[in-house]
Amino acid sequence: MDQTPGVGFRHSPAWLIAAALVVIAQAGLALALFGSSRAWTAVTDDRPILSGRHPLHLYHGTLGSSAFRDRRTSTCYDPAFQAGYPKTPVFDGGSRPAELFAFAGGRNYRPSAYKFGVFVFLLLVPVGFIAAARGAGLPAGAAVLAGCCGVVLGWSPAVRHMIEEGQLDFLGAGLAAAVFVPWLGRYAKTPGVEAWMVLAGLAAIGWYAHPLVWLGLLPVVFVFYLVFAPRHGPGWHLGLAGITMAGIAPNAWWLIDWGKYWWLRQPTALDHIPLPEWQSVLGGPGDYASLCTGFPGGPLIPLAAIAGLVFLWLTHHRGAASLAVVAAALTVGAARLAATWPCVPADVPGRVVPLALAFLMPAAAFAGWEMLRRFRMASAGAILAACGLVIVAWADGPDDSLARATGLHAEPLVIGFTPEQKQLMSAIGEHTTPEARILWDDANPKLGWNWPALLPIYTNRAYLGGLDPASEIDHGHCALCDARLNGRPLAEWTDAELTEFCRWYNVGWVVCRGNHTTDRWSRYPAARVVARLTEAGQPVVLFAIDRPRSFILSGSAVWESANAKRIVLTDVKPNADGEVHLSLHAFEGLRVYPSYVKVEKLHDPTGRDPIQHIRLRTPGPVPRVTLVWEHP
């Protein structure tokens, strides 16, 4: 096999076998994520992933793909949670990969399509690192070695945490950026159709996965342009502009909504925290060494990357080498800023550091390749690394001893509902009806905490709470979370105030998952216990609220149906003022048919809900009224 830099798989196709071994090894490790038995049926059955925010992304992916099929937009209005809320690219942005999986999997709710999408996504990790190495000018053998290093990095604790939390958008954008940067260097050295097409495709993927991550590459592109633009003619400049347009144009359909609905973020004090002092951001040597804690090789990766960057420079791949340095330095700076910025979540630096290592990984692999080549062991070393990964992935014992020893062990995702959760859903189906909402106590069990996001699919009921306790939209204000209702301690609510709350939001039942909430609702005169259950060892109490149940607050109508496509009312009769008040949040873009019925906004009389409800104004009775959200 030719070992000179730049000789790729076309010249040495035998290396494709080694590359395939790396992908096969990744497939075994990915299957272990769905169960220690590595059974393919765990990917293809209908049990949903319940770890982290996977349930939320699965739910929103189902809604978004359905909306795209109907109206060519993933934004929609969902009445099943929070008295009606907008599902937008802002909330939740992490559902975009799920929307793609759901769209490819066909219509309707399909957990198997989502799980298959996650599995395929994980297979792209070694492919991405191999492609990044080829963009940097590494020979095919060194690219295979880079793919092996990428697999090891991909199963490091920080990346595993992102996989478990369902942050595929961050991971996808980061992987695309790790491939994009070295291919920019290749475009600077040898511009051509191949480099252009790779960069254009990566730009489209990166913008779709996470625009904020992709915007973070602007300083790298700016430095790249300043250094290399004077060396090329107009065609090169037009090609670079075309890459930018190839990234933005295919994503314009949702990026417009991303900008339009940014205001829906709930303003908090975090939005006004000043930047930290630059001395604290700069830090000391120990602060940078700590960033590598938990990663394979620790600080050895940056040290090996330095040697690899020197080798790249000497082999005339200077564009890739310099851009890798700039990208890694900026990423480390972003990690240090996140680590010192007050109130930034503690896991944010952990999400950023793997990207810096990903930028350096091709150079680190090249350093290893060159060292082995001097002992005439480069080819054998790369092949042994690929074979070793296959052994760890497929021939490991039941205790995963090899995976644990090599740092490739990952606890399986939480897949499928527990018997307690199934029993709770059965109790909801038995003791409740669709004529009112269920107030869900957003407690936070350690495992599968976000599973209530799937409740409307499995119970055909509407809920207050349960979607995402940490959602940053005003529509989630009407939730019961941490023993606080509407952001106010539940213990401070009087019986009269609870009565008005239940009327305003049409609450017919309450699911209490904590002692404080159970105690307060037990003292509410209109509440009676209809079921006592457990979840994760904690008591769960289902209360029924004895009150008239109706989504019509004033006037009268039959609540025929309500879903993300339309809300249908029949036999609609206005009150004396010619109005029908609905227990439903208003949202810009809601249209009513027939057109002579007008949609207006109704303010919460208590002033606690920042989002107004819907008021319909009609000159007289209407046999049928349909509310549809139309993309404005």
**pLDDT tens by residue, 457-484:** 999 999 999 998 877 788 888 889 888 9
Are the beta carbons of 179 and 219 closer than 8 angstroms? no
Q: Is 342 exposed, middle or buried (0-12, 13-18, 19+ CB in 10 A)?
A: exposed
Residue 420 amino acid letter: E
Alpha-carbon distances, residue 488 vs 22, 479, 519, 526 (angstroms): 53, 10, 16, 21
Q: Assign 286 a pLDDT band (cuts: 50, 70, 90).
A: confident
Find all residues with CB under 8 Å of 215, minimum gap 6, and list them. none
Across 212-223, average pLDDT: 92
**504 neighbors 533 (Cβ within 8 angstroms):** no
Average pLDDT, integer, range 120-143: 96
* Strand pairing category for 567-573 and 527-535: unpaired
**CA 443 from centre of chain:** 21
Which of 315, 306, 318, 303 minimizes the C-alpha distance to 182?
318
Residue closest to 408 by CA, chosen among 422, 394, 425, 426? 394
Lowest mean pLDDT, pick from 322-326, 346-350, 550-554 = 346-350
Tokens 């991303």 locate to 258
Tokens of 243: 């890459």
Structure tokens given for 485: 């209702």
* HEC-encoded secondary structure of 487-509: CEEHHHCCHHHHHHHHHHHCEEE
∠ Cα 273 276 277 (to 5°): 145
**What's the length of the chain?**
632
Q: Would you say 564 and 63 are in contact if contact means Cβ atoms under 8 Å apart?
A: yes
Least confident of 2-11, 431-440, 556-565: 2-11
Q: Of 427, 432, 428, whose CA–CA distance to 549 is shortest?
A: 432
What phi and psi values does residue 194 have, to the nearest 5 degrees?
Answer: -60, -50
Read off the tokens for 593: 């048919």
Residue-level pLDDT at 564? 94
d(CA 206, CA 214): 6
Q: What percent of the chain has pLDDT over 90?
A: 71
Q: Is 283 left (phi over 0), alpha (psi -120 to 50) or beta?
A: left
- Rg over alpha carbons for the chain, rounded to the nearest Å, is 27
pLDDT at 144 exceeding the cut of 50: yes
**593 beta partners:** 626
- Side chain identity at 575, as an amino acid letter? N
Gap between the Cα atoms of 466 and 265, Å rounded: 18
Q: Would the CA dihedral through 74, 80, 86, 88 be positive or negative?
A: negative
Structure tokens of 577?
């003022």
Q: Which of 7-11, 156-160, 385-389 has the lowest mean pLDDT?
A: 7-11
DSSP state, 551? S
| Residues whose CB is less than 8 angstroms from the CB of residue 627 and which lie 6 or more positions away in sequence, other chains included | 566, 567, 568, 569, 590, 591, 592, 599, 614
CA distance 63 to 167: 18
The percent of residues in the chain predicted with pLDDT above 70, rounded, is 95
**In the prediction, which pLDDT does 123 show?**
98
Which tens digit of pLDDT belongs to each residue from 180-194? Answer: 999 999 999 889 999
What pLDDT, in 10s, does the model give residues 354-389?
999 999 999 999 999 999 999 999 999 999 999 999
Query: What is the DSSP pairing of strand 552-554 with strand 567-573?
Result: unpaired
> Is the model's pTM score more than 0.75?
yes
pLDDT digits (tens, 9 = 90+) for 226-274: 999 998 899 999 999 999 999 999 999 999 999 888 866 644 444 555 6
Residue 365 neighbours by CB under 8 Å, 6+ apart:
133, 138, 142, 143, 145, 146, 148, 149, 308
Residues 6+ apart with CB under 8 A from 172: 97, 121, 205, 209, 210
> What is the per-residue pLDDT across 537-549, written as a single tens digit (0 to 9) for each?
889 999 999 999 9
b/e map of 428-450 (b: 16 or more CB within 10 Å)?
beeebeeebbbbbbbbeeeebbb
Q: Is the pLDDT of residue 455 over 50?
A: yes
Q: What burial class does residue 221 get, using C-beta atoms within 10 Å of its C-beta: 0-12 exposed, 13-18 middle, 19+ buried?
A: middle
Residue located via tokens 């957003």:
442
**Structure confidence by residue, pLDDT tens digits, 96-121:** 999 999 999 988 899 999 999 999 99
In the prediction, which pLDDT does 265 show? 60
Judge whether 290 and 345 are in contact, CB under 8 Å: no
The answer to whether the CB of 425 falls within 8 A of the CB of 538 is no
| pLDDT greater than 60 at residue 528 | yes
Higher pLDDT, 47 or 337: 47
End-to-end CA distance of the chain: 59
Predicted pLDDT at 262: 80
Tell me: the pLDDT tens digits for 547-568? 999 999 999 999 999 999 999 9
Give the single-character DSSP code of 538: E
Predicted pLDDT of residue 445 = 57
Cα 158 from chain centre? 15
Name the residue ranges covered by the structural domains of the chain. Answer: 122-151+173-262+289-385, 552-629
Decide: helix, strand or coil at residue 366.
helix
Give the pLDDT confidence score for residue 273 in this predicted structure.
Answer: 59
